[in-house]
Amino acid sequence: MQTRRLGQRGPEVSAIGYGCMGLDFGYSHFLPEDGAIALLREAHAFGVTFFDTAEAYGPFSNEELVGRALAPVRDEVVIATKFGFRDGSPAAGLDSRPERIRAVAEASLRRLQRDRLDLFYQHRVDPAVPIEDVAGTVRALVEEGKVARFGLSEAGPDTIRRAHAVLPVDVVQSEYSLWWREPEREVLPLCAELGIGFVPFSPLGRGFLTGKIDETTTFAEGDFRNGLPRFAPAARRHNRALVELVEGLAAETEATPAQVALAWLLARQPWIVPIPGTTRVHRLRENVAAAALELGADDLARLTAGLDAIEVQGARYPESLANLVDR
């Protein structure tokens, strides 16, 4: 697989990474432990060298799973993990106090079976803790050899600048896809200015951009998409226009809608590495193959013009989760 460097200071990784969350958290189709380990090792066999997890996924079980699966190839992969929630639980609220960051780092090192955390993100910005204190704590962990690189997830431009002044931010992770382009306004230009790599999560719109979801689709109990306004039936019906646009280009390029959505992201900047997740081997193979799909200038122009003409309906998160979005 092609590789990319995540910004000026980030690691060199596969052009397509793997988001591990859905293996046992957030959705409804989970794999047994042996199946999840086999899938992670299959991803590595396909050339994936960048894996994304967090203590909050489970909580804790996802890191343990990733640690066991990738232990045999620990020197060949980059694993990103995250801190930022009280007791590791998003439901318990935010917690980026320095003592909590240190506790998470030590626990994540054990669960991931690593001597150093390759990339340590603040999962969500905690307004109760100055970002300077957060960056200063991670800087100390870097100096102690426990963390290699520092990242921020879903951080706004002011937060990124303030953190970067204390400890250079290596990577920013935010939702970014054909149906959520907000990072283009301020975050991506700032990443270009500061030499920061960018990792889009939910690059396939939590499955919507694959074309396999419409207004009649039902999600199992416990699937977090049930609570997202963008996945309300009326919003899905309206937003099918976006999928039809992608499907049209996919047919012309002999690709799948998912591959077009990933190739579009890869074409935005050479320091962007999306992290689609899946629990199915054939979808994994499909996602990995997107790294070889090159959309032409005319294709990209048509796609962008079509996107600009479509107003996506539905908020990303309900009001109850508004505090998780940094501005």
57 is catalytic: yes
- Reading the block at residue 121, the tokens are 């993100």
DSSP character for 27? S
- Reading the block at residue 56, the tokens are 């909050």
DSSP character for 13? E
Q: Which of 18, 27, 57, 176 is catalytic?
A: 57
SS3 327: coil
State the DSSP H helix or E strand holding residue 252, giving kind and residue range, or none if neither: helix 233-253
State the DSSP H helix or E strand holding residue 220, giving kind and residue range, or none if neither: none
SS3 317: coil
CA–CA distance, 16 with 199 (Å, rounded to integer): 10
Select from 215, 226, 294, 229 the least CA-distant residue to 262: 294
> In sequence order, what DSSP letters do the residues of 193-215 get, joined into one string?
HHTBEEEEESTTGGGGGGT---T
Catalytic residue numbers? 57
